[in-house]
């Protein structure tokens, strides 16, 4: 069992949770993730390691309540325990030798990008951060990001905070004004990462994306997280989750990402009915 040490809401739908998991905390690196099960019968869900504290034996996750399992997770509090925490899984993000980077993060991708921003800052990389949210109330980790970036923009789709538009608009403006980067990291919903890659291709800017494919075992056995990268089959859990965004078949990834939409809706509906009965 894995004890929850702390739980802190970041906005109405996003929560940060600290969990006692000494072995994961000891070896977890930015870009890696864990897979947890809330209880004995629970499904396995992958969540990025937002932070690891090897001294205290504690890992942090930041999750958005989107469906059955993330709602179940959010019903727990400090002092409760999770059934399983497996990790660290996946390959760490490659930041080696990058001196100037553009970091684009959209929505919950901001939580996934945060450990990478910290690691870039720690190695002395000059980072221009572009954060995007649907609206002002969805903003998370703004100050934390600002501390990691040499320059930084927090935008909203509706203009309720910062520049109105998408992170790609921010990056396009920076590139058009002559800013140059050695690498871009784009992390967020698939359409956002696809749009970012379409833009960076035109500027010949190598771009790393983090693929949030549906996962089950997380060890390369089940094939669930399969995607096509540069015409070859890859598994996001063991070959990624980071890939060269210019080679990813995003259309296929989007099709596969919605394969279980019906089941997910049904599970969430049953969850609501149960909540009403109790
Ligand atoms: C490597 C990786 C890292 C991730 N990191 C984070 C994170 O730090 N914070 C966060 O909030 N979310 C993260 N996700 C997404 C997270 O796993 C899903 O939101 C979660 O599984 C949803 O489960 P649910 O039962 O609450 O929702 P459901 O209703 O089951 O699903 C809602 C949506 O979540 C996605 N999803 C569902 N099941 C899975 C699954 N087994 N694997 C992957 N995606 C799934 C699908 O796109 C689905 O449409 C990550 C996903 C991957 C692959
Ligand atoms: S999650 Fe099963 S192969 Fe990747």
Nearest to 80 by CA among 27, 29, 134, 7: 7
CATH dotted code for 91-206: 3.40.50.80
Return mean pLDDT, the chain.
Answer: 92
> Which protein residue has the closest C-alpha to ligand 2 atom 3?
220
Q: How many CA atoms lie within 13 A of 276 on its CB side?
A: 6
The pLDDT, as a whole number, for residue 261 is: 65
The pLDDT, as a whole number, for residue 233 is: 96
Q: Is the distance from CB of 242 to CB of 233 less than 8 angstroms? A: no
Q: How many CB atoms lie within 10 A of CB 252?
A: 12
Pocket test for ligand 1, best of 9, 212, 255, 272 (most atoms within 8 A of CB): 212
Q: What are phi and psi of 59, to 5 degrees?
A: -115, 150
Bridge-based pairing state of the strands 183-187 and 100-106: parallel
Query: Does ligand 1 lie within 6 Å of residue 264's CB atom?
Result: yes
Give the tens place of pLDDT for each residue, 29-86. 999 999 999 999 889 999 999 999 999 999 999 999 998 999 999 999 999 999 999 9
* Shared fold status for 2-89 and 91-206: no
- To the question of domain 2-89 being in CATH 2.60.40.10, the answer is no
The pLDDT, as a whole number, for residue 272 is: 59
Q: State the Cα–Cα distance between residues 18 and 7, nearest whole angstrom.
A: 6
Query: Does ligand 2 lie within 6 Å of residue 217's CB atom?
Result: yes
The pLDDT, as a whole number, for residue 277 is: 44
Query: Does ligand 1 lie within 6 Å of residue 15's CB atom?
Result: no
Query: Where are the domains positioned within the chain?
Result: 2-89, 91-206, 211-259
The pLDDT, as a whole number, for residue 257 is: 78
Q: State the Cα–Cα distance between residues 11 and 16, nearest whole angstrom.
A: 10
Ligand 2 atom at minimal distance to the Cα of residue 224: 2
Q: Peptide bond before 241: cis, by omega within 30 degrees of 0?
A: yes
The predicted model scores a pTM of 0.91
User: Over the chain, what HEC string results?
Assistant: CEEEEEEEECCCCEEEEEEECHHHHHHCCCCCEEEEECCCCCCCEEEECCEEECCCCEEEEEEECCCHHHHHHHCCCCCCEECEEEEEECCCCCCCCCCEEEEEEECCHHHHHHHHHHHHHHCCCEEEEEEEECCHHHCCCHHHHHHHCCEEEEEECCCCCCCECCHHHHHHHHHHCCCCCCEEEEECCHHHHHHHHHHHHHCCCCEEEECCCCCCCCCCCCCCCEEEECCEEEEHHHHCCEEECCCECHHHHHHHHCCCHHHHHHHHHHHHHHHHHC
Pocket test for ligand 1, best of 42, 219, 254, 264 (most atoms within 8 A of CB): 264
Q: How many Å separate Cα 161 from the centre of its chain?
A: 22
Token pair belonging to 105: 């993060």
Query: Does ligand 1 lie within 6 Å of residue 227's CB atom?
Result: no
Show the low-confidence residues of the chain (pLDDT under 70): 259-278
């Amino acid at each position: 069992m894995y004890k929850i040490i702390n739980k802190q809401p970041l906005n109405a739908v996003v929560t940060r949770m600290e969990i006692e998991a000494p072995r994961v905390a000891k070896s977890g690196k930015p870009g890696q993730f864990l897979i947890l099960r809330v209880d004995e019968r629970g499904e396995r869900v992958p969540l990025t390691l937002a932070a690891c504290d090897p001294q205290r034996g504690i890992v942090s996750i930041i999750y958005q309540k989107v469906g059955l399992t993330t709602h179940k997770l959010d019903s727990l509090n400090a002092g409760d325990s999770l059934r399983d925490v497996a990790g660290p899984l996946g390959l760490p993000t490659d930041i080696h030798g990058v001196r100037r980077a553009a970091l684009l993060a959209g929505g919950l991708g901001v939580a996934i990008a945060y450990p990478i921003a910290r690691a870039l800052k720690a190695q002395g990389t000059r980072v221009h951060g572009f954060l995007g949210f649907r609206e002002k109330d969805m903003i998370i980790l703004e100050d934390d990001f600002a501390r990691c970036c040499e320059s930084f923009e927090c935008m909203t789709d509706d203009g309720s905070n910062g520049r109105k538009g998408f992170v790609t608009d921010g990056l396009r403006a920076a590139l058009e004004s002559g800013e140059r980067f050695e690498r871009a990291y784009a992390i967020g919903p698939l359409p956002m990462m696809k749009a970012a890659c379409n833009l960076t291709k035109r500027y010949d800017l190598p771009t790393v994306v983090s693929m949030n494919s549906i996962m089950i075992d997380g060890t390369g056995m089940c094939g669930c997280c399969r995607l096509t990268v540069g015409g070859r089959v890859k598994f996001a859990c063991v070959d990624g989750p980071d890939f060269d965004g210019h080679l990813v078949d995003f259309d296929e990834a989007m099709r596969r990402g919605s394969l279980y939409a019906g089941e997910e809706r049904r599970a969430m509906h049953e969850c609501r009915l149960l909540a009403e009965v109790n």
